[in-house]
Amino acid sequence: MVAVGRVEDVLAGTVVRAARLMRDLDDQIPGALEELKALYPHTGGAFIVGVTGNPGSGKSTIVDCLIAQYREAGLRVGVVAIDPSSPYSGGAILGDRIRMQRHATDDSVFIRSLATRGHLGGLSRSTQDIITVMDAMGHDVIIVETVGVGQDEVDVVSTAHTSVVVVVPGLGDEIQAIKAGILEIADILVVNKADRDGADRTVADLSMMLDLRAKGAKTVRILKAVAIKEGGMVELVEAVDLHRRELDSETEGRRRGLERAETRLKDLVRTLALERALALLESGDGLSALVERIAEREIDPYSAAEQVLAELMGNP
Amino acid sequence: MSTKRKIRILVAKPGLDGHDRGAKVVARALADAGYEVIYTGLHQTPDMIAAAAVQEAVDLVGLSIMSGAHMTLFPAVQKALEKRGVSDLPIFGGGIVPEEDKAALLEGGVDALFTPGTTTTEIIDWIEANVRPKVEG
């Protein structure tokens, strides 16, 4: 199923072919994985910025401003924008492009919308693969906009070099700010809609949260922004650049690179092992037989699961 | 590995009119039917629509036109798509299109036109009959 010459076309930056490959990866067409493997050695050149935050905090508008600035600097920009799939219909309305329309016909900007398709963590399962294709196409910067998240959707941190977390004023008292989760992953915290009441208070709360951390914790910058008026966006790009330079200059960059690779490997092993185990379970009538035995208390579910796994290990 | 294709549809409003309620209702109905709908909002130029269709690798483009400029805008979008290298993409339209223009547009390569009074179920049935086989084929 490998499309003839598509790897070469993607490396040459052919948009139609690259977009189709992304589609095949999102749809989990097996042949597409072979192409992805061939692209991998040609990647690693792109700098990846993650933008995450609550629904309605202004992520898309911030991404729009980032695109504008990176384009001004002459960089090629890829954007992966993720919105949730409906848990009921499986469908989705992907509307992040609306705020990025001024870049629609700029051939140095490639925007791809993805639906989560049931994947948790704030990204779609295919996000990393789509980034790989954009990287191989030669994009200098790739911006990943997660779904509007709550407190625990932190996958973006293992995907991006720099994680930007967007918050808005008035989300609650300071106790919200010391909770674990989303705020911990930030390299840069943006208090957007800072022309609203309470922005300074939010900045103060966030600073306090950062001060409470152990000595030697990473540097986190806090910025105020009014993205809809492009306020604070120059400062945001500067903060991203600063963070990038820190990654380059210290062993931190290599450490994070290894961390990302390890997370990715473990994720894939987990996914593939699960798929194969379930396929094995559902082939033949083994599943219904096992299920019946568990229900009849002839075997306990742990032993049954171990049996399935033992069979899987014997059949790579 | 599951290989079931998810149908992706671009819903766009070309031209200058500001009435996107119809487009939003259709987008919502299509999402409820299980499709992934990329909605790009108002005032799209034909080339903006074509660029989005290519980058998003959609199976189908839906255009909502209420301005009366359908005889210009449909061919312009078709041309823009061709220019960006996807001449085989199905296009459907919704909005106000007089009967006498309908025939000409369908003749010119627009795949289906749904005018006021059409139920969203009719649109979904048409997609299942005409687009699904190509996507999964």
Q: Is A2's pLDDT higher than 80?
A: no
What token pair was written down for B40?
């790009």
* Strands (E) located in A7-140: 47-53, 77-83, 92-94, 109-115
Which amino acid is residue A122, in one-letter code? G
What does the pLDDT read at residue B105?
Answer: 95
Could you read off the pLDDT of A222-258 as tens digits, one per residue? 999 999 999 999 999 999 999 999 887 767 778 888 8
- Range of weakest confidence among A239-243, B94-98, B102-106: B94-98
**Phi, psi dihedral angles at A204 (to 5 degrees):** -65, -45
Could you read off the pLDDT of A51-101 as tens digits, one per residue? 998 888 999 999 999 999 999 999 999 999 999 999 999 999 999 999 999
| Closest alpha carbon within chain B to A98 | B40
Partner-chain residue, chosen from B6, B52, B56, that has the shortest CB–CB distance to A27: B6
Interatomic CA distance for residues A142 and A47, integer angstroms: 6
pLDDT band at B67 (very low <50, low <70, confident <90, very high): confident
pLDDT band at A307 (very low <50, low <70, confident <90, very high): confident
Q: Identify the residue whose tokens are 């911030």.
A: A62
Interatomic CA distance for residues A98 and A121, integer angstroms: 24
What does the pLDDT read at residue A177?
Answer: 56
> 3-class secondary structure for A120-159?
CCCCCCCHHHHHHHHHHHCCCEEEEECCCCCCCCCHHHHC
Flag if A95 and B35 touch (Cβ within 8 Å): no
- From the list A172, A167, A145, the residue with the least C-alpha distance to A156 is A145
- The yes or no reply on domain A43-249 and CATH 3.40.50.300 is yes
Chains A–B, number of C-beta pairs less than 8 Å apart: 92
Flag if A105 and B48 touch (Cβ within 8 Å): yes
**Phi, psi dihedral angles at B27 (to 5 degrees):** -60, -45
Q: Identify the residue whose tokens are 């699961």.
A: A305
Indicate the domain borders of chain A: 1-41, 43-249, 263-313
Q: Is A277's pLDDT higher than 90?
A: no
At B39, which helix (H) or strand (E)? strand B36-39
- pTM of the shown model: 0.91
Across the range A102-116, mean pLDDT stands at 96
- From the list A179, A145, A137, the residue with the least C-alpha distance to A39 is A137
Strand order in the sheet with B112-114: A92-94, B36-39, B8-12, B60-65, B91-95, B112-114
What token pair was written down for B19?
């009435």
